[in-house]
Chains A and B, each alone.
Chain A
Amino acid sequence: MSTAEHEDGSVDFDGPILQLRGVKKSFGDLRVLAGVDLEIEKGEVVCVLGPSGSGKSTLLRCINLLAPPEEGTITLEGTQITGTESEGGVDFVRRRVGMVFQQFNLFPHKSALENVTIAPRRVLDRSDAACNDRGKELLASVGMTDKVDEYPDRLSGGQQQRVAIARALAMDPHVMLFDEVTSALDPELVKEVLDAMRELASEGMTMIVVTHEIGFARDVADRVVFMDGGVIVEQGPPAQILDNPSEERTKRFLGLVLEH
């Protein structure tokens, strides 16, 4: 696989933007991922569904090396990022992969704008002016123009989560990971966050979305992945997986989720 890095950090590569092969991860005696193979194409939106404890969140944490896998390989833009043959380090990954968390994790001692600008300023050494301009642009893109100077404790959950999306985008990621980003929100605040994600998907961002929002998966996903017991049970286009699953475990899960 040939790769060449450009000055802006982008890499020429063949094949999928992200490739997982036999990824395994345990916490103590608990095996959370029991061998996951997954390929993501550039610009693809993949929704990951599955019961709690099925390893969905851990999968995301493996991809950005917050929880490095014990076995298997992960290749990002043609560069192996795991194991002894790893060519790209943690920095390589974190500058290409953004993440949004269930609990927002905004920095409470910083304003919305400072939350968005701190990483490009400190990690990429960009000028304050450039960071502020870009930060305001990103906050505008998630509908937060009039809240740039507010602190997180003055924002609703939905607003905080939109700031968190802008914050991740400020590092110009090539792939975005969403870890149950609407699960901690009041029902009436879910839509504004999903709309921001829809917008991002329509701009061609590569996204891996762990979610319980079946409607979002149906509308936005190019592919739905169903996980259970630390493995991928089945995957395919949303219509196929959601309406006509072939595996018993998928049917049972969807039955429980769609009942109400």
Chain B
Amino acid sequence: MQALWDSIQAIQQQFFDPTVMTENFDEVLAGFWVTLRLSVIAGVLSLIWGLILAVLRQTPGKLGAIVRLPAIAYINALRGVPLLLVILIIFVGLGQLTNEGAVPEFIGIPTWFGQRDVFWYGVFAITLTYGAYMAEVYRAGIEAVPSGQMEAARSLGMSHAQAMRYIIVPQAVRKVIPPLLNDFIALMKDTALVSVIGLIEAVQVGRDVSRETLNSSALMLAAFMFLAVTIPLAMLLDRLIARQQAQTSRGVSVL
């Protein structure tokens, strides 16, 4: 009986030691603040880059193939490669090219807005990868808009670009807000991968602390910080989906 009690206490100490958590709270929070900034900046850029890719992918006609085919190739390539690999390729590649003078330091080793170069490498890599993921989400939304919408817009004299801008994309985006939000949650968790090139974000802080203390509590603390953001987002997502389903079942188009 005593052995069992000791085990339980040991587990509690290993994962939920209040002393370790309070002593390292500020440090982990500082790391999580980096995680949040990285997530929001890369998330916004991915939303924009993904939409650009999705629209290029829909360019019609023979001439449109000049942009359509590269867009398709890019999306398929980036969806099929681990994000970790993209992070490493950019880190090694840009750093080395800058050392050789092939790329100006302003771009090769960016320190914009007071953020370290590895922060921006992370932003690049995540945007490149998640832009491709989100392009596929947008594509599903664009294809879900009835073809009569494009015909009506064209018959009113709009160009393909105007029809996309004013008619198709606004409807498509409304349809795909839930899956985009889902991708954003995944993106946020994937920012931890940027720690491999030396970014001190929440997971890396947790690792550093756990190495010193031989205790997992700082890592658990980082996990709770993630949950504090991702659970409300997931709840928001569920509500959005429920609202869309209610509207669809009433025969009302989703606005």
Contacts and interface: CB of A to CB of B under 8 A. Distances in A.
Interface of A: 64, 66, 91, 94-95, 97-99, 101, 103, 105-109, 118-119, 122-124, 151-153, 164, 167-168, 171
Interface residues of B, number: 20
Given A122-B162, A122-B166, A153-B252, A105 B157 contact: no
Contacts of B149: 105, 107
Given A66-B155, A164-B152, 5 more contacts: A101-B152, A108-B171, A109-B170, A119-B156, A123-B162
B116 interface: no
A80 to B, nearest CB: 19
B154 interface: yes
Going nearest first, the 4 A-B pairs with the smallest beta carbon separation are A119-B156, A105-B152, A105-B148, A94-B157
Interface in B135-167: 146, 148-149, 151-158, 162, 166-167
Contacts of A106: 152
Given A103-B148, A118-B166, A66 B157 contact: no
Contacts of B152: 99, 101, 105-107, 164
Which of B156, B162, B252 has the most C-beta atoms of chain A within 10 angstroms of its own C-beta? B156
B151 A101 contact: yes
A130 B253 CA distance: 30
A2 B155 CA distance: 27
A231 B149 CA distance: 29
B174 interface: yes
B151 A95 contact: no
Interface of B: 146, 148-149, 151-158, 162, 166-167, 170-171, 174, 252-253, 255
A94 B155 contact: yes
A109 B152 CA distance: 14
Contact of A94 (B156, B167, B171): B156
Contact of B156 (A108, A109, A123, A153): A123
Contacts of B156: 94, 98, 118-119, 123, 167-168, 171
Contacts of B153: 107, 119
B151 A66 contact: yes
B158 A119 contact: yes
Which of A95, A98, A153, A168 has the most C-beta atoms of chain B within 10 angstroms of its own C-beta? A153
A130 B171 CA distance: 26
Contact of B157 (A95, A103, A109, A152): A95
Contacts of B146: 103, 105
Which of A97, A106, A107, A167 has the most C-beta atoms of chain B within 10 angstroms of its own C-beta? A107
Contact of A91 (B151, B157, B166): B157
Nearest to B155: A99
B158 A122 contact: yes
24 contacts: A66-B154, A94-B155, A95-B157, A98-B156, A99-B152, A101-B152, A103-B146, A106-B152, A107-B149, A107-B152, A108-B253, A109-B171, A118-B156, A118-B166, A118-B167, A119-B153, A119-B156, A123-B158, A123-B162, A151-B255, A152-B253, A167-B156, A168-B155, A168-B156
